[in-house]
């Protein structure tokens, strides 16, 4: 640490352990009562002249916003892995370093993805509705409301990075066959017996369940659309705990209604926090509100890693998790 505690602002109140660390090691204004939007964060930056801004997706920074930041800002540390809300090239061009929080949320995101696989396959949303809302008033027959087991099924993972590999490890505990599509083939140790497909289109016909784990790009066409959904065996399951922009939701609705998909599990949506009401009304959709990293342990580790990056840069040390491009 420098002799003078680094000055920082944060766009959201961090977890208690991180707030205690800020009081001990940094100079900062009080945490906000509610998450700041971009204009509020920029206004505070110009008033407080911080060395670092600790932000989340609630305060996206695009090129015009970055131009309004004071020269004091040397780092934007996002408490996330995803960088969709930051114009990284514009920040770097301005001479502002960028950091994110990879690795620490891998396990929790993979846990949630596995939960979505199980819940969508076993019709958890319908079971929950029956017992808690509709009213379970008579015994179910032998053939009523049957789901599909995941044990022994073929799981196709799209994007075999840290989280995709962590999901594969969990799925092997259910004796699932792992298929994957990735920008590059993994080495044998990382692959761990999984079957590689160079194209998504080649993999999909062999999948009982598909789980998405790749970055999103709102300006790119969705990779899951009517054409790719049609390649799946009828009655398959789709899971998306990555980015909502990866899926054409109109095509997903059609597939869930027609039975092309027996179910889906989503943690992310094209429009957040107000997902398509036609989509979320479907009985065979299991939904969570973008909560992949939402555990005390993981969110605390994310906050601490963001502060580690601030402390390192202020002290002239290499940051533990810089974003370079």
CB-CB contact of 163 with 170 (8 Å): no
Active site residue 181: no
Active site residue 25: no
Give the burial class of 150: count Cβ atoms within 10 A of its Cβ; 0-12 exposed, 13-18 middle, 19 or more buried: buried
Joined tokens for residue 278: 């036609």
Measured CA to CA, the distance from residue 272 to residue 240 in angstroms comes to: 14
Buried b (16+ CB within 10 A) or exposed e, 48-82: bebbbbbbbbbbbbeeebbeebeeebbbbbbbbbb
Distances (CA, A) of 26 to 52, 56, 189, 287: 10, 19, 42, 39
> Which among 10, 243, 270, 299 is annotated as catalytic?
243
The helix (H) or strand (E) run that includes residue 118 is: helix 106-121
> Which among 7, 10, 270, 290 is annotated as catalytic?
290
Distances (CA, A) of 170 to 4, 104, 150, 153: 46, 17, 12, 13
Nearest by Cα to 7 from 35, 55, 45, 34: 45
Distances (CA, A) of 84 to 245, 254, 318: 11, 28, 24
Active site residue 243: yes
Strands (E), the chain: 8-10, 52-55, 75-78, 97-99, 154-158, 177-181, 195-197, 209-212, 236-240, 261-266, 285-287, 322-323
Measured CA to CA, the distance from residue 8 to residue 5 in angstroms comes to: 9
> Which among 47, 272, 278, 297 is annotated as catalytic?
272
The residues annotated with a catalytic role in the active site are 243, 272, 290
């Amino acid at each position: 640490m420098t002799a003078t505690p680094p000055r920082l602002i944060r766009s959201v109140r961090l977890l208690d352990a991180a707030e205690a660390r800020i009081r001990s090691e940094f100079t900062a204004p009080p945490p906000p009562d509610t998450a700041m939007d971009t204009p509020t964060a920029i206004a505070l930056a110009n008033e407080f002249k911080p060395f670092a801004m600790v932000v989340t997706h609630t305060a996206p920074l695009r090129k015009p916003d970055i131009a309004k930041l004071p020269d004091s800002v040397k780092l934007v540390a996002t408490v996330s892995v995803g960088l969709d809300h930051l114009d990284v090239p514009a920040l770097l061009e301005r001479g502002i370093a960028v950091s994110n929080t990879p690795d620490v949320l891998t396990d929790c995101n993979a846990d949630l993805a596995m939960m979505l696989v199980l819940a969508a396959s076993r019709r958890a949303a319908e079971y929950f509705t029956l017992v808690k809302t509709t009213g379970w008033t008579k015994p179910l027959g032998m053939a009523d409301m049957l789901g599909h087991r995941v044990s022994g099924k073929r799981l196709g993972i799209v994007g075999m990075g840290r989280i995709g590999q962590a999901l594969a490890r969990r799925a092997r505990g259910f004796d699932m066959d792992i298929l994957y599509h990735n920008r590059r083939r993994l080495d044998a140790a990382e692959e761990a017996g999984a079957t590689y497909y160079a194209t998504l289109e080649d993999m999909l016909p062999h999948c009982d369940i598909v789980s998405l784990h790749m970055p999103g790009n709102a300006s790119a066409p969705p990779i899951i659309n009517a054409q790719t959904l049609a390649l799946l065996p009828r009655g398959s399951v789709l899971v998306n705990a990555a980015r909502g922009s990866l899926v054409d939701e109109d095509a997903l609705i059609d597939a869930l209604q027609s039975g092309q998909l027996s179910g889906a599990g989503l943690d992310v949506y094209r429009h957040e926090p107000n997902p398509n009401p036609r989509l979320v009304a479907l009985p065979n959709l299991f939904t969570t509100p973008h909560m992949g990293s939402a555990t005390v342990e993981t969110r605390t580790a994310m906050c601490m890693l963001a502060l580690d990056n601030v402390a390192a840069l202020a002290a002239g040390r290499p940051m533990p998790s810089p974003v370079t491009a």
